[in-house]
Chains A and B, each alone.
Chain A
Amino acid sequence: MLSNVRTLWMVFLKIFKKKVTIQYPEKKAYLPPRWRGRIILSRDPDHNERCVACYLCAAACPVDCISLQATEDENGRRYPEFFRINFSRCIFCGLCEDACPTYAIQLTPDFEMGEYNRQNLVYEKEDLLIDGMGKYHGYSFYQQAGVAVGVKPKGGGEKEDPPVDVRTLLP
Protein backbone atom coordinates (compact mmCIF):
# COMPACT_ATOMS: atom_id res chain seq x y z
CA MET A 1 0.00 0.00 0.00
CA LEU A 2 2.74 2.43 0.98
CA SER A 3 4.75 1.52 -2.08
CA ASN A 4 1.74 2.42 -4.20
CA VAL A 5 1.63 5.86 -2.62
CA ARG A 6 5.35 6.22 -3.26
CA THR A 7 4.82 5.23 -6.89
CA LEU A 8 2.07 7.83 -7.23
CA TRP A 9 4.35 10.52 -5.85
CA MET A 10 7.28 9.55 -8.05
CA VAL A 11 5.12 9.52 -11.17
CA PHE A 12 3.63 12.86 -10.15
CA LEU A 13 7.14 14.36 -10.00
CA LYS A 14 7.59 13.47 -13.68
CA ILE A 15 5.66 16.69 -14.43
CA PHE A 16 8.88 18.57 -13.88
CA LYS A 17 11.02 16.31 -16.06
CA LYS A 18 11.99 17.11 -19.62
CA LYS A 19 10.04 15.34 -22.34
CA VAL A 20 11.92 12.64 -24.20
CA THR A 21 9.86 12.89 -27.37
CA ILE A 22 11.55 14.25 -30.49
CA GLN A 23 8.96 15.97 -32.70
CA TYR A 24 9.90 13.82 -35.66
CA PRO A 25 9.06 15.47 -38.98
CA GLU A 26 10.28 18.83 -37.73
CA LYS A 27 13.23 17.58 -35.69
CA LYS A 28 15.21 14.53 -36.64
CA ALA A 29 16.84 12.15 -34.25
CA TYR A 30 20.60 11.66 -34.51
CA LEU A 31 21.42 8.49 -36.40
CA PRO A 32 24.94 7.10 -36.02
CA PRO A 33 27.02 6.87 -39.22
CA ARG A 34 26.93 3.10 -39.15
CA TRP A 35 23.12 3.05 -38.87
CA ARG A 36 21.70 0.46 -41.27
CA GLY A 37 19.32 2.24 -43.61
CA ARG A 38 18.89 2.80 -47.33
CA ILE A 39 21.47 0.88 -49.39
CA ILE A 40 23.68 2.72 -51.85
CA LEU A 41 26.41 1.82 -54.34
CA SER A 42 29.52 3.95 -54.00
CA ARG A 43 32.21 4.99 -56.48
CA ASP A 44 35.98 4.84 -56.15
CA PRO A 45 38.23 7.95 -56.08
CA ASP A 46 38.42 7.90 -59.90
CA HIS A 47 34.65 8.17 -60.06
CA ASN A 48 34.24 4.69 -61.46
CA GLU A 49 31.80 2.20 -60.04
CA ARG A 50 33.32 0.20 -57.23
CA CYS A 51 31.06 -2.77 -57.79
CA VAL A 52 32.79 -5.66 -59.55
CA ALA A 53 29.63 -7.73 -59.84
CA CYS A 54 30.97 -10.67 -57.83
CA TYR A 55 27.43 -11.67 -56.67
CA LEU A 56 28.61 -12.03 -53.06
CA CYS A 57 26.01 -9.56 -51.82
CA ALA A 58 23.24 -11.36 -53.65
CA ALA A 59 24.46 -14.65 -52.21
CA ALA A 60 24.66 -13.26 -48.70
CA CYS A 61 21.25 -11.64 -48.82
CA PRO A 62 18.91 -13.70 -46.60
CA VAL A 63 15.76 -12.44 -48.33
CA ASP A 64 17.08 -12.50 -51.89
CA CYS A 65 16.28 -8.89 -52.53
CA ILE A 66 19.41 -8.13 -54.58
CA SER A 67 19.63 -9.12 -58.19
CA LEU A 68 22.39 -8.18 -60.61
CA GLN A 69 24.01 -9.26 -63.84
CA ALA A 70 27.78 -9.05 -64.39
CA THR A 71 29.37 -7.82 -67.56
CA GLU A 72 32.78 -6.51 -68.69
CA ASP A 73 33.87 -3.37 -70.46
CA GLU A 74 36.40 -3.30 -73.33
CA ASN A 75 39.33 -3.39 -70.84
CA GLY A 76 38.01 -6.45 -69.07
CA ARG A 77 36.84 -4.53 -66.03
CA ARG A 78 33.82 -6.20 -64.42
CA TYR A 79 30.77 -4.14 -63.57
CA PRO A 80 27.09 -4.89 -63.10
CA GLU A 81 24.96 -4.59 -66.20
CA PHE A 82 21.98 -4.03 -63.95
CA PHE A 83 21.82 -3.89 -60.19
CA ARG A 84 18.44 -4.03 -58.59
CA ILE A 85 17.45 -3.97 -54.91
CA ASN A 86 13.87 -4.66 -53.97
CA PHE A 87 13.44 -2.57 -50.83
CA SER A 88 10.03 -3.99 -50.13
CA ARG A 89 11.86 -7.21 -49.29
CA CYS A 90 15.04 -5.79 -47.80
CA ILE A 91 15.37 -6.27 -44.05
CA PHE A 92 18.37 -3.93 -43.69
CA CYS A 93 20.51 -6.59 -42.04
CA GLY A 94 23.73 -5.29 -43.59
CA LEU A 95 25.01 -8.72 -44.61
CA CYS A 96 25.53 -7.44 -48.17
CA GLU A 97 27.78 -4.69 -46.82
CA ASP A 98 29.73 -7.29 -44.85
CA ALA A 99 30.08 -9.53 -47.87
CA CYS A 100 31.21 -6.85 -50.30
CA PRO A 101 34.96 -7.18 -51.05
CA THR A 102 35.22 -3.72 -52.65
CA TYR A 103 33.26 -1.47 -50.24
CA ALA A 104 30.83 -0.86 -53.08
CA ILE A 105 27.55 -1.64 -51.37
CA GLN A 106 26.99 0.35 -48.18
CA LEU A 107 24.13 1.09 -45.83
CA THR A 108 23.38 4.71 -44.96
CA PRO A 109 21.58 6.41 -42.06
CA ASP A 110 18.44 7.17 -44.04
CA PHE A 111 15.13 5.45 -43.54
CA GLU A 112 12.61 7.80 -45.11
CA MET A 113 11.76 5.68 -48.11
CA GLY A 114 7.96 5.65 -47.97
CA GLU A 115 6.18 5.18 -51.29
CA TYR A 116 2.56 5.10 -52.35
CA ASN A 117 3.28 2.62 -55.10
CA ARG A 118 4.91 -0.62 -54.10
CA GLN A 119 6.71 -0.93 -57.41
CA ASN A 120 8.59 2.27 -56.64
CA LEU A 121 10.44 0.45 -53.88
CA VAL A 122 12.45 -1.47 -56.49
CA TYR A 123 15.61 0.59 -56.92
CA GLU A 124 17.64 0.30 -60.11
CA LYS A 125 21.36 0.99 -60.44
CA GLU A 126 20.76 4.67 -61.29
CA ASP A 127 18.82 5.07 -58.02
CA LEU A 128 21.45 3.25 -55.98
CA LEU A 129 24.65 4.80 -57.33
CA ILE A 130 25.93 7.84 -55.48
CA ASP A 131 28.64 10.26 -56.59
CA GLY A 132 30.90 9.85 -53.56
CA MET A 133 32.84 7.16 -51.79
CA GLY A 134 30.47 6.63 -48.89
CA LYS A 135 32.03 5.60 -45.60
CA TYR A 136 35.39 4.41 -46.97
CA HIS A 137 37.44 7.16 -48.55
CA GLY A 138 40.33 6.69 -50.95
CA TYR A 139 39.82 2.99 -51.50
CA SER A 140 40.01 1.74 -55.05
CA PHE A 141 39.81 -2.01 -55.55
CA TYR A 142 41.57 -2.10 -58.93
CA GLN A 143 44.55 -0.19 -57.49
CA GLN A 144 45.09 -3.13 -55.13
CA ALA A 145 44.13 -5.92 -57.51
CA GLY A 146 46.67 -7.71 -59.62
CA VAL A 147 44.85 -7.53 -62.90
CA ALA A 148 45.21 -4.58 -65.24
CA VAL A 149 41.87 -3.45 -66.49
CA GLY A 150 42.73 0.04 -67.69
CA VAL A 151 42.99 1.53 -64.23
CA LYS A 152 46.72 0.97 -63.87
CA PRO A 153 49.44 -0.88 -65.74
CA LYS A 154 50.35 -4.32 -64.53
CA GLY A 155 52.54 -3.95 -61.43
CA GLY A 156 51.75 -0.24 -61.11
CA GLY A 157 49.39 -0.50 -58.21
CA GLU A 158 49.84 0.50 -54.60
CA LYS A 159 52.27 -1.75 -52.65
CA GLU A 160 52.99 -3.56 -55.86
CA ASP A 161 56.34 -4.18 -57.54
CA PRO A 162 56.70 -4.20 -61.33
CA PRO A 163 56.55 -7.75 -62.66
CA VAL A 164 59.77 -9.68 -62.90
CA ASP A 165 60.92 -10.22 -66.48
CA VAL A 166 61.50 -13.97 -66.44
CA ARG A 167 63.14 -13.91 -69.93
CA THR A 168 66.33 -12.17 -68.74
CA LEU A 169 69.08 -13.67 -66.57
CA LEU A 170 70.38 -10.35 -65.27
CA PRO A 171 69.97 -9.97 -61.55
Chain B
Amino acid sequence: MNEILVQILIIVGVLLGTVTIAAGLIYVERKMLAVWQQRSGPNRVGPFGIFQVLADMVKIFFKEDWIPPFVDKKVFIIAPTIIMLSILMSFSIVPFAPGIVIADLNIGLLFFLAMSSLGAYTIVLAGWASNNKYSLLGGMRGAAQMISYEVFMGLSLMGVVIQVGSFNMTDIVNAQKGLWFVVPQFVGFVIFLIAGVAETHRLPFDLPEAESELIAGFHSEYSGMKFGMFFVGEYLGITLVSCMITILFFGGWLGPSFLPPIVWFLIKMFAFILFFVLLRAALARPRYDQLMSFGWKLLLPLALLNVLITGAVVLSNA
Protein backbone atom coordinates (compact mmCIF):
# COMPACT_ATOMS: atom_id res chain seq x y z
CA MET B 1 0.00 0.00 0.00
CA ASN B 2 2.71 2.39 1.07
CA GLU B 3 4.82 1.57 -1.97
CA ILE B 4 1.93 2.29 -4.29
CA LEU B 5 1.38 5.63 -2.56
CA VAL B 6 5.06 6.54 -2.99
CA GLN B 7 4.89 5.49 -6.63
CA ILE B 8 1.83 7.67 -7.22
CA LEU B 9 3.54 10.57 -5.47
CA ILE B 10 6.56 10.18 -7.73
CA ILE B 11 4.37 10.06 -10.84
CA VAL B 12 2.44 13.17 -9.82
CA GLY B 13 5.67 14.90 -8.79
CA VAL B 14 7.40 14.16 -12.08
CA LEU B 15 4.34 15.18 -14.10
CA LEU B 16 3.85 18.44 -12.25
CA GLY B 17 7.57 19.13 -12.08
CA THR B 18 8.25 18.64 -15.76
CA VAL B 19 5.20 20.57 -16.91
CA THR B 20 6.04 23.40 -14.51
CA ILE B 21 9.62 23.51 -15.75
CA ALA B 22 8.39 23.48 -19.33
CA ALA B 23 6.06 26.39 -18.61
CA GLY B 24 8.76 28.24 -16.71
CA LEU B 25 11.00 27.88 -19.73
CA ILE B 26 8.78 30.41 -21.50
CA TYR B 27 10.14 32.99 -19.08
CA VAL B 28 13.67 31.58 -18.94
CA GLU B 29 13.98 31.51 -22.72
CA ARG B 30 12.70 35.03 -23.22
CA LYS B 31 14.86 36.41 -20.44
CA MET B 32 18.05 34.64 -21.47
CA LEU B 33 17.56 35.47 -25.14
CA ALA B 34 17.23 39.08 -24.06
CA VAL B 35 20.38 38.91 -21.95
CA TRP B 36 22.35 37.46 -24.85
CA GLN B 37 21.04 40.13 -27.15
CA GLN B 38 21.77 42.95 -24.67
CA ARG B 39 18.08 43.62 -24.08
CA SER B 40 16.21 43.44 -20.80
CA GLY B 41 13.43 41.04 -21.81
CA PRO B 42 10.18 40.72 -19.89
CA ASN B 43 10.38 42.99 -16.85
CA ARG B 44 6.92 44.50 -16.44
CA VAL B 45 4.81 41.73 -14.88
CA GLY B 46 5.93 41.31 -11.29
CA PRO B 47 9.50 41.59 -9.98
CA PHE B 48 11.93 40.95 -12.88
CA GLY B 49 8.89 39.95 -14.91
CA ILE B 50 8.62 36.51 -13.35
CA PHE B 51 4.83 36.54 -13.59
CA GLN B 52 5.18 36.76 -17.36
CA VAL B 53 4.60 33.00 -17.41
CA LEU B 54 1.21 33.47 -15.76
CA ALA B 55 0.34 36.30 -18.08
CA ASP B 56 1.31 34.21 -21.11
CA MET B 57 -0.70 31.26 -19.85
CA VAL B 58 -3.78 33.40 -19.19
CA LYS B 59 -3.41 34.91 -22.62
CA ILE B 60 -3.13 31.62 -24.43
CA PHE B 61 -6.05 30.10 -22.50
CA PHE B 62 -8.34 32.96 -23.44
CA LYS B 63 -7.33 33.07 -27.10
CA GLU B 64 -9.92 31.97 -29.57
CA ASP B 65 -9.33 28.32 -30.37
CA TRP B 66 -10.23 28.39 -34.01
CA ILE B 67 -10.42 25.36 -36.26
CA PRO B 68 -10.25 26.44 -39.91
CA PRO B 69 -13.10 25.01 -42.03
CA PHE B 70 -10.74 23.38 -44.54
CA VAL B 71 -8.78 21.18 -42.13
CA ASP B 72 -9.08 17.49 -41.44
CA LYS B 73 -10.74 18.07 -38.10
CA LYS B 74 -10.06 14.86 -36.18
CA VAL B 75 -6.38 14.66 -37.04
CA PHE B 76 -6.04 18.40 -36.56
CA ILE B 77 -7.19 18.06 -32.95
CA ILE B 78 -5.24 14.89 -32.18
CA ALA B 79 -1.89 16.05 -33.61
CA PRO B 80 -0.84 18.47 -30.83
CA THR B 81 -1.59 15.94 -28.10
CA ILE B 82 0.81 13.37 -29.52
CA ILE B 83 3.93 15.40 -28.85
CA MET B 84 2.89 16.10 -25.25
CA LEU B 85 2.00 12.45 -24.68
CA SER B 86 5.10 10.94 -26.23
CA ILE B 87 7.46 13.27 -24.41
CA LEU B 88 5.70 12.91 -21.06
CA MET B 89 5.90 9.13 -21.56
CA SER B 90 9.65 9.44 -22.08
CA PHE B 91 9.97 11.15 -18.72
CA SER B 92 8.81 7.94 -17.06
CA ILE B 93 12.23 6.35 -17.56
CA VAL B 94 14.28 9.35 -16.40
CA PRO B 95 15.94 8.72 -13.04
CA PHE B 96 16.06 12.11 -11.33
CA ALA B 97 17.79 10.75 -8.22
CA PRO B 98 18.36 7.28 -6.78
CA GLY B 99 14.88 5.80 -6.41
CA ILE B 100 13.04 8.71 -7.98
CA VAL B 101 12.08 7.12 -11.26
CA ILE B 102 8.63 6.11 -12.44
CA ALA B 103 9.57 2.99 -14.41
CA ASP B 104 13.09 1.64 -14.08
CA LEU B 105 12.87 -0.27 -17.35
CA ASN B 106 15.77 -2.50 -18.34
CA ILE B 107 15.38 -1.13 -21.88
CA GLY B 108 14.91 2.45 -20.74
CA LEU B 109 17.10 3.97 -23.43
CA LEU B 110 15.29 2.12 -26.20
CA PHE B 111 11.98 3.31 -24.76
CA PHE B 112 13.23 6.87 -24.92
CA LEU B 113 14.32 6.48 -28.53
CA ALA B 114 10.98 4.90 -29.45
CA MET B 115 8.98 7.65 -27.80
CA SER B 116 11.00 10.44 -29.33
CA SER B 117 10.43 8.88 -32.75
CA LEU B 118 6.69 9.02 -32.13
CA GLY B 119 7.11 12.77 -31.82
CA ALA B 120 7.61 12.87 -35.60
CA TYR B 121 3.95 11.94 -36.00
CA THR B 122 2.81 15.15 -34.42
CA ILE B 123 4.60 17.20 -37.06
CA VAL B 124 3.55 15.08 -39.99
CA LEU B 125 -0.08 14.86 -38.89
CA ALA B 126 -0.31 18.53 -38.01
CA GLY B 127 1.26 19.51 -41.34
CA TRP B 128 -1.02 17.17 -43.28
CA ALA B 129 -4.23 17.96 -41.41
CA SER B 130 -3.75 21.71 -41.76
CA ASN B 131 -4.43 21.37 -45.50
CA ASN B 132 -2.06 24.22 -46.21
CA LYS B 133 0.94 24.22 -48.51
CA TYR B 134 3.35 25.75 -46.05
CA SER B 135 2.23 23.45 -43.26
CA LEU B 136 2.65 20.46 -45.50
CA LEU B 137 6.15 21.60 -46.49
CA GLY B 138 6.97 22.05 -42.81
CA GLY B 139 5.56 18.67 -41.92
CA MET B 140 7.49 17.01 -44.72
CA ARG B 141 10.73 18.67 -43.71
CA GLY B 142 10.07 17.76 -40.09
CA ALA B 143 9.52 14.13 -40.95
CA ALA B 144 12.65 13.89 -43.08
CA GLN B 145 14.73 15.73 -40.47
CA MET B 146 13.54 13.67 -37.53
CA ILE B 147 13.91 10.34 -39.33
CA SER B 148 17.43 11.07 -40.51
CA TYR B 149 18.62 12.48 -37.19
CA GLU B 150 16.96 9.63 -35.34
CA VAL B 151 19.38 7.23 -37.01
CA PHE B 152 22.58 8.55 -35.52
CA MET B 153 20.91 9.74 -32.34
CA GLY B 154 20.50 6.06 -31.56
CA LEU B 155 23.95 5.22 -32.89
CA SER B 156 25.65 7.93 -30.84
CA LEU B 157 24.20 6.41 -27.68
CA MET B 158 25.45 2.95 -28.53
CA GLY B 159 28.93 3.91 -27.36
CA VAL B 160 27.55 4.54 -23.89
CA VAL B 161 25.53 1.34 -24.01
CA ILE B 162 28.57 -0.67 -25.06
CA GLN B 163 30.62 0.73 -22.18
CA VAL B 164 27.91 0.07 -19.60
CA GLY B 165 26.54 -3.12 -21.08
CA SER B 166 22.97 -2.13 -20.20
CA PHE B 167 20.06 -0.08 -21.53
CA ASN B 168 18.92 0.68 -17.98
CA MET B 169 19.20 4.36 -17.12
CA THR B 170 20.05 3.80 -13.45
CA ASP B 171 22.84 1.41 -14.45
CA ILE B 172 24.17 3.99 -16.88
CA VAL B 173 24.34 6.64 -14.16
CA ASN B 174 25.93 4.26 -11.67
CA ALA B 175 28.58 3.28 -14.23
CA GLN B 176 29.78 6.90 -14.30
CA LYS B 177 30.90 7.00 -10.66
CA GLY B 178 34.56 7.08 -11.66
CA LEU B 179 34.44 9.13 -14.83
CA TRP B 180 31.60 10.88 -16.63
CA PHE B 181 31.00 9.45 -20.09
CA VAL B 182 31.53 12.85 -21.64
CA VAL B 183 35.28 12.17 -21.56
CA PRO B 184 35.51 8.74 -23.21
CA GLN B 185 32.40 9.35 -25.34
CA PHE B 186 33.02 12.95 -26.34
CA VAL B 187 32.17 12.31 -30.00
CA GLY B 188 29.01 10.53 -28.97
CA PHE B 189 28.12 13.47 -26.72
CA VAL B 190 28.54 16.04 -29.50
CA ILE B 191 26.55 13.95 -31.95
CA PHE B 192 23.80 13.33 -29.42
CA LEU B 193 23.66 17.04 -28.61
CA ILE B 194 23.24 17.97 -32.27
CA ALA B 195 20.74 15.19 -32.85
CA GLY B 196 18.85 16.26 -29.74
CA VAL B 197 18.54 19.80 -31.04
CA ALA B 198 17.32 18.46 -34.38
CA GLU B 199 14.97 16.06 -32.63
CA THR B 200 13.26 18.83 -30.69
CA HIS B 201 13.38 20.93 -33.87
CA ARG B 202 14.84 23.86 -32.00
CA LEU B 203 16.96 26.52 -33.59
CA PRO B 204 19.25 26.28 -35.49
CA PHE B 205 17.49 23.13 -36.74
CA ASP B 206 13.97 24.56 -36.71
CA LEU B 207 13.40 23.96 -40.41
CA PRO B 208 9.93 22.44 -39.95
CA GLU B 209 8.68 25.70 -38.48
CA ALA B 210 11.08 28.18 -40.08
CA GLU B 211 9.26 31.44 -39.51
CA SER B 212 10.88 33.40 -42.29
CA GLU B 213 10.23 30.88 -45.04
CA LEU B 214 7.30 28.68 -43.95
CA ILE B 215 5.28 31.05 -41.74
CA ALA B 216 5.60 28.79 -38.67
CA GLY B 217 5.35 25.67 -40.83
CA PHE B 218 3.31 22.83 -39.42
CA HIS B 219 1.54 24.90 -36.78
CA SER B 220 0.61 27.95 -38.83
CA GLU B 221 -3.10 26.99 -38.72
CA TYR B 222 -3.11 26.39 -34.99
CA SER B 223 -4.29 28.88 -32.43
CA GLY B 224 -5.16 29.07 -28.76
CA MET B 225 -4.41 26.12 -26.53
CA LYS B 226 -3.66 23.78 -29.42
CA PHE B 227 -0.77 26.04 -30.36
CA GLY B 228 0.10 26.13 -26.66
CA MET B 229 0.38 22.34 -26.72
CA PHE B 230 2.99 22.52 -29.48
CA PHE B 231 4.79 25.16 -27.49
CA VAL B 232 4.78 23.26 -24.21
CA GLY B 233 5.65 20.11 -26.13
CA GLU B 234 8.70 21.84 -27.55
CA TYR B 235 9.82 23.01 -24.12
CA LEU B 236 9.15 19.55 -22.68
CA GLY B 237 11.34 18.20 -25.46
CA ILE B 238 14.15 20.55 -24.49
CA THR B 239 13.83 19.47 -20.87
CA LEU B 240 13.82 15.82 -21.87
CA VAL B 241 16.89 16.07 -24.08
CA SER B 242 18.69 18.03 -21.35
CA CYS B 243 17.77 15.28 -18.87
CA MET B 244 19.07 12.63 -21.24
CA ILE B 245 22.36 14.43 -21.83
CA THR B 246 22.77 14.82 -18.09
CA ILE B 247 22.10 11.16 -17.44
CA LEU B 248 24.03 9.67 -20.34
CA PHE B 249 27.12 11.85 -20.40
CA PHE B 250 27.30 13.96 -17.24
CA GLY B 251 26.70 11.47 -14.50
CA GLY B 252 23.04 12.19 -13.76
CA TRP B 253 22.59 12.86 -10.08
CA LEU B 254 26.24 12.13 -9.20
CA GLY B 255 28.19 14.96 -7.64
CA PRO B 256 29.95 16.06 -4.44
CA SER B 257 27.82 15.17 -1.44
CA PHE B 258 27.25 18.66 -0.03
CA LEU B 259 24.17 18.97 -2.24
CA PRO B 260 21.43 16.33 -2.51
CA PRO B 261 21.49 14.24 -5.72
CA ILE B 262 18.29 15.76 -7.13
CA VAL B 263 19.83 19.25 -6.91
CA TRP B 264 22.89 18.10 -8.86
CA PHE B 265 20.60 16.64 -11.46
CA LEU B 266 18.61 19.85 -11.77
CA ILE B 267 21.74 22.02 -11.95
CA LYS B 268 23.17 19.98 -14.81
CA MET B 269 19.80 19.85 -16.55
CA PHE B 270 19.33 23.61 -16.38
CA ALA B 271 22.85 24.19 -17.69
CA PHE B 272 21.90 22.27 -20.84
CA ILE B 273 18.55 24.03 -21.10
CA LEU B 274 20.44 27.32 -21.05
CA PHE B 275 22.75 25.95 -23.70
CA PHE B 276 19.72 25.26 -25.87
CA VAL B 277 18.66 28.89 -25.45
CA LEU B 278 22.20 30.04 -26.25
CA LEU B 279 22.11 28.01 -29.45
CA ARG B 280 18.93 29.82 -30.40
CA ALA B 281 20.44 33.19 -29.59
CA ALA B 282 23.64 32.61 -31.52
CA LEU B 283 23.25 30.43 -34.58
CA ALA B 284 21.53 30.90 -37.90
CA ARG B 285 19.36 28.29 -39.56
CA PRO B 286 21.14 26.14 -42.18
CA ARG B 287 19.66 25.48 -45.57
CA TYR B 288 17.61 22.31 -45.85
CA ASP B 289 20.06 20.43 -48.04
CA GLN B 290 22.92 21.54 -45.79
CA LEU B 291 21.07 20.07 -42.83
CA MET B 292 20.58 16.76 -44.62
CA SER B 293 24.11 16.47 -45.96
CA PHE B 294 25.53 17.46 -42.56
CA GLY B 295 23.52 14.66 -41.01
CA TRP B 296 24.10 11.88 -43.49
CA LYS B 297 27.61 12.68 -44.71
CA LEU B 298 29.29 13.84 -41.52
CA LEU B 299 27.43 12.81 -38.39
CA LEU B 300 26.37 9.33 -39.46
CA PRO B 301 29.89 8.15 -40.40
CA LEU B 302 31.23 9.76 -37.22
CA ALA B 303 28.65 7.95 -35.10
CA LEU B 304 29.43 4.65 -36.80
CA LEU B 305 33.15 5.21 -36.31
CA ASN B 306 32.52 6.01 -32.66
CA VAL B 307 30.60 2.76 -32.18
CA LEU B 308 33.34 0.84 -33.98
CA ILE B 309 36.18 2.26 -31.91
CA THR B 310 34.32 1.99 -28.61
CA GLY B 311 33.44 -1.60 -29.38
CA ALA B 312 37.04 -2.42 -30.29
CA VAL B 313 38.40 -0.83 -27.11
CA VAL B 314 35.86 -2.57 -24.88
CA LEU B 315 36.55 -5.90 -26.58
CA SER B 316 40.32 -5.57 -26.26
CA ASN B 317 40.00 -4.68 -22.58
CA ALA B 318 37.69 -7.61 -21.88
With A8-B278, A11-B278 known as contacts, the answer to whether A18 contacts B38 (CB < 8 A) is: yes
Contact present for A14 and B39 (CB under 8 Å): no
A30 within 8 A of B: no
Question: Which A residues lie within 8 Å of B43 (CB)?
Answer: 23
Q: What's the nearest-Cβ distance from chain A to residue B200, in Å?
A: 18
Contact present for B38 and A8 (CB under 8 Å): no
Closest to A15 in B: B35
* A64-105 interface bits toward B, Cβ cutoff 8 Å, 1 = contact, 0 = none: 000000000000000000000000000000000000000000
Q: What's the nearest-Cβ distance from chain A to residue B167, in Å?
A: 31
Of B15-23, B129-137, B279-287, the one touching chain A? B279-287
Contact present for A8 and B36 (CB under 8 Å): no
A28 within 8 A of B: no
Q: What's the nearest-Cβ distance from chain B to residue A129, in Å?
A: 37
Q: Tell me the complex Cα distance, A14–B279, Å.
A: 13
Question: Which B residues lie within 8 Å of A23 (CB)?
Answer: 40, 43
Interface residues of B in 18-50 (CB under 8 A from A): 35-40, 43
User: Quick one: which of A7, A17, A18, A19 contacts B282, CB cutoff 8 A?
Assistant: A7
Question: Which A residues lie within 8 Å of B38 (CB)?
Answer: 14, 17-21
Q: What's the nearest-Cβ distance from chain A to residue B296, in Å?
A: 16
Q: Tell me the complex Cα distance, A8–B36, Å.
A: 10
Question: Which B residues lie within 8 Å of A11 (CB)?
Answer: 36, 278, 281-282
Closest to B298 in A: A1
Contact present for B36 and A12 (CB under 8 Å): yes
Contact present for A4 and B39 (CB under 8 Å): no
Contact present for B279 and A19 (CB under 8 Å): no
Q: Tell me the complex Cα distance, A168–B164, Å.
A: 123
Contact present for B283 and A8 (CB under 8 Å): yes
User: Quick one: which of A4, A10, A14 contacts B37, CB cutoff 8 A?
Assistant: A14
Contact present for B283 and A21 (CB under 8 Å): no
Question: Which B residues lie within 8 Å of A7 (CB)?
Answer: 282-283
Closest to A10 in B: B282
Contact present for B278 and A12 (CB under 8 Å): yes
Contact present for B36 and A14 (CB under 8 Å): yes
Q: Tell me the complex Cα distance, A18–B287, Å.
A: 33
Q: Tell me the complex Cα distance, A39–B37, Å.
A: 36
Contact present for B283 and A14 (CB under 8 Å): no
Contact present for B39 and A20 (CB under 8 Å): yes
Question: Which B residues lie within 8 Å of A4 (CB)?
Answer: 282-283
Question: Which B residues lie within 8 Å of A8 (CB)?
Answer: 278-279, 282-283
Question: Which A residues lie within 8 Å of B36 (CB)?
Answer: 11-12, 14-15
Closest to B279 in A: A8
Q: Tell me the complex Cα distance, A12–B39, Å.
A: 14
Question: Which A residues lie within 8 Å of B40 (CB)?
Answer: 19, 21, 23
* A3-44 interface bits toward B, Cβ cutoff 8 Å, 1 = contact, 0 = none: 010011011101101111101000000000000000000000
Q: What's the nearest-Cβ distance from chain B to residue A70, in Å?
A: 50
Other A-B contacts than A4-B283, A8-B283, A11-B281, 7 sampled, CB-CB below 8 A, are A8-B278, A12-B282, A15-B36, A20-B38, A21-B39, A21-B40, A23-B40
